[in-house]
Amino acid sequence: MTNEVPTHVITSLSVALVVLAKAPVPGLAKTRLALTVGSEAAAALAYRLLSHTLATVRDSGLSATLCGAPHGHPLLVELAEQAGVELTAQSEGDLGQRLEAAMSQALCTHDAVLVIGSDCPGLTVQHLHQAARELARHDAVFYPALDGGYTLIGLRRIPTGFFYDMPWSTRSVMPETLRRLVALGWQVWSGEPLADIDTADDLVHLPKHWPAPRVEQMT
């Protein structure tokens, strides 16, 4: 049973919410963090982050999908069932290609789409509702990440090739995305920057009651 809220209660648009995530297993999830805390600890934290994200998604009441890789992994199936969201497969390709495919799929049945990852524990139901509301008045919405990317992106349509050759995993992602949107003449809304968890330096942004993984002593 889900807590889905009629979208008209939040916004005049039909808004889909997609969580783009990898299965929280060693060697696949949080590989940059694993360099300092080890792959097992990184995977355990990835599981907790994804579970937390899906609980927030469930509580938002938005029409939600977990777009996971590899598709059908038992942990993804388990977490999707716990949250009451549909599990779909990620496409092949780089992050831009996977983003475009997930957003295009959602826009087949909705007026607009929000996409988030699974590594921003500070993203709340209020953030999701605010982004959905702003999509009624803007062409694109964001919650930027402190590292120069974004923790949430929302669009009402996708220009062909918009994500092509984006400098992913750099501080240039958000500025380059904004540059492309300005060139299109789009109206853009941006919320407060939020922290995502990619490296050991980011662990300070975990909720205070969460135990942080210990940094391994590398020899």
What per-residue confidence (pLDDT) applies to 12? 82
Question: Percentage of the chain with pLDDT > 90?
Answer: 87
What per-residue confidence (pLDDT) applies to 9? 52
- Domain assignment present for residue 218? The answer is no
Question: Percentage of the chain with pLDDT > 70?
Answer: 93
Average pLDDT over residues 127-133: 97
- Domain assignment present for residue 3? The answer is no
- Domain assignment present for residue 65? The answer is yes
- Identify the band that residue 5 occupies on the pLDDT scale cut at 50, 70 and 90: low
- Whether residue 1 is predicted with pLDDT greater than 70 in this model: the reply is no
DSSP track, the chain: ---PPPHHHH-SS-EEEEEEEE---TTTSSHHHHHHH-HHHHHHHHHHHHHHHHHHHHHHT-EEEEEEESTT-HHHHHHHHHHT-EEEEPPSSSHHHHHHHHHHHHHTTSSEEEEE-S--TT--HHHHHHHHHHTTT-SEEEEEBTTSSEEEEEESS--TTTTTT--TTSTTHHHHHHHHHHHHT--EEE---B----SGGGGGGS-TTSPPPPPP---
- Domain assignment present for residue 211? The answer is no
- Domain assignment present for residue 54? The answer is yes
- Identify the band that residue 160 occupies on the pLDDT scale cut at 50, 70 and 90: confident
CATH number for position 77: 3.90.550.10
What per-residue confidence (pLDDT) applies to 218? 43
- Domain assignment present for residue 214? The answer is no
What per-residue confidence (pLDDT) applies to 212? 77
- pLDDT tens-digit profile of 8-66? 457 688 999 999 999 999 999 999 999 999 999 999 999 999 999 999 999 999 999 99
Q: Which domain holds residue 160?
A: 12-205
Count of domains observed in the chain: 1
What per-residue confidence (pLDDT) applies to 211? 85
- pLDDT tens-digit profile of 60-117? 999 999 999 998 999 999 999 999 999 999 999 999 999 999 999 999 999 999 999 9
- Domain assignment present for residue 151? The answer is yes
What per-residue confidence (pLDDT) applies to 219? 36
- Domain assignment present for residue 213? The answer is no
